[in-house]
Chain A
């Protein structure tokens, strides 16, 4: 039995790797994409373009402006002197925000009265706007703290001290890069397996395979093993790049990650083969793969938290293998999880894998 499976595995690999173009599309792009996306996919704002509209000639406003100019995340693009200059800057996205300082700012501060600062911000990208406003507030906090102490203002009655666990500097790259590892593994595995049966059906060779002495289980294994090997090798490679190139901390256990990868690949392969055996042509196979990949990326918590979704959609995410694997990858990388913390993720993955593999094997025979 193993000899027959082995022969099928070799044949599958030959199909995939014989052609130079198809060899390249399996190996090259995932690595390039990982590097590009690893840098590109970030919520951290590091050059917020802003303009200063300072109507106050006093030294207090200069002190405040200097804090913005010295902040590494802010990049001054213009100094303006009228209200009319604001809208062209923001409309054309030359500046994300304009800092408008009241003419009486210094005078009020010296009288121990609040000085007014207005921030006009482009809300088109609401997430960027929210984050930029919190950066602005941080600068204002530190200015206020300094001013309160230097000029002997009444101290606030209480003080809040905020700290973040697992990711003390709140780098979104630490969150996104492990996510991309999972994402690319899913895409590669599904593309390798998703078209494999559809291609044979379109070319008529699948019927020939069915009349050979091979059982559906053997065909299933022969089709699944190449996906497991390619997906696994790419997963390991990409994870290594995440640690050594992107310097994402790896706090947890390698065994826990490997077990997660194995179960996740099985689930992805099962789904890929299921789609593939339902499809009659490669176009349908591709469409099927897409119809699965896109929702599973959106509803996985990769970029936007599952907790923000409506309750009904949150329930739907329990069907999504990527959801569980993302928790495993991030848990192992950042939170230092080991196998015993992650059973609640492994078990659903194993169930999805078992179900989809069985369904694929059944479909081989019963779908004509």
Chain B
């Protein structure tokens, strides 16, 4: 290892980066752009859901219930004259569900029988439908309780549930999506930055030129790794800053631990990109592989948005080879729950293993020889 030569290589890489600024774009513009986009665009909290209301026979009781719906920020109740019109509104996606208080509702209520009310939800988006059902149930229970109280017979419910929600009491989905998002952004930055650079040298024939020079293969790889590592860490810091200042995501854990583990993850992602690049030696194939093995798996299989524990066992096993999975877990823990050592340690160990694997595979794959 010769420091002089290494410095030369790093300088050359930086000059190239400045020459074609798409690398700077990847490292700095992309995180900001993505954080804005995801931070504002991705939310699983249903608010202002349009719900059709059909009341066959309005009475004081029915209007009390509908007032309850109107007060909730979850719904935008829209009155419809009869059920057929409301059903058409569901078909045309104007409303997500129907609440139907039939003729019998008020009559049965007055006669102190159990009065029936129907709710129809559009189940196409199953997740949203589940949440909507939960909200409607909540308003319904509330109304029942008030109604029973007004009659002087408090509602007798056998088992009463009190929830205590840890780490994210308001259940804001942004608080867990934004940290996970940083993992996805880092995967992209790391792999995209390096996926093309070695392939490009092969394609342009400059790799051969490097080979006849006295630099060793280790120096070439380090010369690639160090500049992009610095760029990537810059992007990472920027993302954390934005998450905390702009999106008000609490950072409960320690900042320096976050930085250290991010560096570890970045090495893994860069290693993955370098490996792809050195195996394919072709920019088109490298870019295809980078997209296929980085963004989509990180988006779907990392636990960022879909819960890993809900996946079938085989798929859960596959998630273990996706580096983003460990980093998502680290970030969600550090941001929301704090320094929980056992979780952090286990995930960092996995990342360390993967970084070593990718980097040493790259080293093995890049001998000084021409095929």
Contact = CB atoms under 8 A, between A and B. Distances in A.
Interface of A: 19, 21-22, 25-26, 29, 33, 36-37, 39-49, 64, 90-93, 96, 105, 109, 112, 114-131, 133-134, 136-137, 140, 143-144, 147-148, 151, 153-168, 170-172, 174-175, 187, 191, 195, 199, 281-284, 286-287, 289-291, 293-295, 297-299, 303-305, 307-310, 313, 327, 330, 334-335
Contacts of A281: 20, 22
Contacts of B246: none
Interface stretch (B134-142, B218-226, B357-365): B134-142
Contacts of B291: 187, 191, 286, 289-290, 293
B37 to A, nearest CB: 5
Given A160-B117, A164-B123, 12 more contacts: A40-B315, A40-B318, A41-B300, A118-B161, A123-B168, A134-B133, A148-B156, A156-B148, A157-B115, A162-B118, A287-B192, A313-B40
Nearest to A162: B119
B5 interface: no
Contacts of A96: 309
Contacts of A187: 291, 296
Contacts of B370: none
Interface residues of B, number: 117
Identify whether the interface residues of B are mostly helix, strand, loop, or mixed: helix
B262 interface: no
A121 B164 contact: yes
A295 B37 contact: yes
A192 to B, nearest CB: 9
Interface string B112-144: 101111111111111111110110110010001
Contacts of B340: 91-92
Interface stretch (B237-245, B264-272, B280-288, B348-356): B280-288
A160 to B, nearest CB: 5
B312 interface: yes
Contact of B49 (A36, A170, A307): A307
B255 interface: no
Contacts of A120: 164, 166
Given A295-B37, A305-B46, A330-B124, A156 B162 contact: no
A119 B151 contact: no
Q: Which 9 A-B pairs have the closest CB atoms?
A: A164-B123, A167-B123, A123-B168, A158-B115, A25-B288, A126-B171, A172-B126, A147-B158, A123-B165
B85 interface: no
B26 interface: yes
Contacts of A156: 114, 144, 148, 155
B342 interface: yes
A114 B159 contact: yes
B256 interface: no
A308 B159 contact: no
A157 B310 contact: no
Contact of A159 (B117, B169, B280): B117
B292 interface: yes
Given A25-B292, A167-B129, A291 B30 contact: yes
Nearest to B193: A283
A299 B37 contact: yes
Interface string B296-319: 110111010111011110110011
Q: Which among B90, B168, B176, B310 has the highest number of chain A CB atoms within 10 Å?
A: B310
B121 A164 contact: yes
B127 A131 contact: yes
B289 interface: yes
B159 A21 contact: no
Q: Which among A44, A140, A286 has the highest number of chain B CB atoms within 10 Å?
A: A286
A170 B123 contact: yes
Contacts of A327: 93
A140 B161 contact: yes
Contact of A165 (B123, B144, B151): B123
A91 B343 contact: yes
A297 to B, nearest CB: 7
B329 to A, nearest CB: 8
B25 interface: yes
A108 B332 CA distance: 40
B195 to A, nearest CB: 8
A105 to B, nearest CB: 8
B306 A298 contact: no
B172 interface: yes
B214 interface: no
A366 B31 CA distance: 31
Q: Which among A131, A162, A167, A295 has the highest number of chain B CB atoms within 10 Å?
A: A162
B2 interface: no
B20 A168 contact: no
12 contacts: A25-B292, A39-B315, A93-B329, A119-B163, A120-B166, A127-B44, A137-B161, A156-B155, A175-B126, A282-B200, A291-B30, A327-B93
B41 interface: yes
A199 B121 CA distance: 49
A49 B297 CA distance: 24
A309 B40 contact: yes
B282 to A, nearest CB: 7
Given A36-B315, A174-B126, A199 B284 contact: yes
B46 A42 contact: no
Interface in B322-343: 329, 332-333, 336-337, 340, 342-343
A47 B309 contact: yes
B155 to A, nearest CB: 6
A167 B126 contact: yes
B34 interface: yes
Q: Which among A33, A170, A191, A334 has the highest number of chain B CB atoms within 10 Å?
A: A170
Interface string B88-126: 001101001000000001001100101111111111111
